[in-house]
């Protein structure tokens, strides 16, 4: 006998019980999920390759539609599919990037809002290449780290460099806003290069004080790619990440930022990266990240 679909510990773990499809298949959906189990570009603790599977399992706690205390039902008519993971070569990063870009292009042609489950933050670079046709593309990055380093350990394609590579290759990428920066380790050259390009850098200790300014920094109606590195969170909220930094976002503040941005701009896609479920034996980290994905979708599809 098959397990009832409402049991989070029964059945096959697709994201939010979404039907399984092939990335290049004949399907259309409002939301499509793609896993990118890649973490060989990390500079510290590995484990982000396990995040897509962990997020799928955690998402079974949050299967839409959702009805709140206000009586409003959310995501009731939003269609979901799960296209599994990009098939990645184990130790061929250049080929991996090509496959990630190709899969993201397929997704954009078939769904209204792609959700990409990383993976370390290096995967955002090949994902952004699939948005090369978007006029005046903006990126909003929630992150403890700038990730605009030119080279690290003799490589130009680490998880410290995705936005540097994207800015070099995409003439349509006009602006990057990074929110939540903190910690002892900052690359002076990367900071100078980002500021020279006109990027907005918001330290964590200024987020609440500058909240309205941050939200209103971009003219309304911009087309925005949202990248969430889970180390943006305070490690007391989400400890399962390679490079946690104290004094980060609370869950409520992250959601407040995302809700304001979603209502002001057109969010094109979401990636969630740097979750390392092996570093949090409680399973809390993937539950927090899965809920954030769902609440982001509630804001994107709020009408």
Return binding residues.
121, 143, 145, 147, 229, 231
Q: Give the helix, strand, coil percentages of the chain, each rounded to 5.
A: 35, 20, 45
Nearest by Cα to 139 from 108, 122, 111, 162:
162
Cα(96)–Cα(89) distance, rounded to whole angstroms?
6
CA dihedral of residues 287, 99, 157, 231 (deg, nearest 10): -10
Give the residue ranges of the annotated binding site for Mn(2+).
121, 143, 145, 147, 229, 231
Please write down the HEC assignment for all residues of 164-220: HHHHHHCCCEEEEEEEEECCCCCCHHHHHHHHHCCCEEEEHHHCCCCHHHHHHCCCC
Cβ-proximal residues to 67 (8 Å cutoff; 6+ apart), any chain:
73, 74
Q: Pairing between strand 200-203 and 173-181?
A: parallel
Cα(48)–Cα(35) distance, rounded to whole angstroms?
11
Centroid of chain to Cα 77: 23
- Containing 268, the helix (H) or strand (E) segment is strand 266-273
State whether residue 131 is helix, strand or coil: coil
* Rounded alpha-carbon distances, angstroms, from residue 206 to 144, 198, 202, 212, 237: 13, 18, 7, 11, 19
Take residue 215 and report the two structure tokens written for it. Answer: 């939200």
């Amino acid at each position: 006998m098959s397990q009832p679909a409402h049991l989070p510990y029964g059945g096959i773990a697709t994201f939010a019980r979404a039907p399984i499809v092939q990335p290049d298949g004949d399907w259309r959906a409002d939301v499509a999920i793609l896993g990118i189990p890649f973490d060989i570009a990390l500079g510290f603790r590995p484990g982000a390759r396990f995040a897509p599977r962990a997020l799928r399992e955690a998402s079974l706690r949050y299967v839409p539609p959702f009805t709140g205390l206000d009586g409003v039902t959310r995501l009731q008519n939003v269609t979901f599919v799960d296209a599994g993971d990009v098939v990645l070569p184990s130790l061929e990063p250049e080929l991996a990037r090509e496959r990630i870009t190709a899969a993201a292009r397929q997704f954009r042609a078939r769904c209204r809002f792609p959700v990409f489950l990383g993976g370390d933050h290096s995967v955002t670079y090949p994902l952004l290449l699939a948005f090369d046709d978007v006029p005046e593309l903006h990126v909003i990055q929630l992150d403890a780290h700038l990730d605009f380093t030119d080279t690290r350990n003799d490589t130009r394609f680490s998880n410290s460099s995705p936005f540097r590579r994207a800015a070099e290759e995409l003439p349509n990428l006009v602006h990057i806003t990074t929110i939540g920066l903190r910690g002892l380790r900052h690359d002076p050259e990367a900071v100078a290069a980002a500021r020279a390009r006109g990027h907005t850098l918001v330290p964590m200790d200024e987020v609440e004080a500058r909240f309205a300014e941050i939200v209103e920094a971009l003219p309304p109606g911009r087309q925005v790619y949202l990248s969430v590195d889970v180390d943006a969170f305070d490690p007391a909220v989400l400890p399962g990440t390679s490079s946690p930094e104290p004094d980060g976002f609370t869950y409520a503040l992250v959601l407040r930022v995302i809700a304001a941005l979603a209502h002001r701009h057109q969010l094109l896609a979401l990636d969630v990266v740097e979750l390392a479920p092996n570093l949090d034996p409680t399973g809390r980290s993937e539950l927090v990240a899965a809920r954030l994905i769902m609440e982001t979708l509630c804001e994107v599809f709020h009408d």
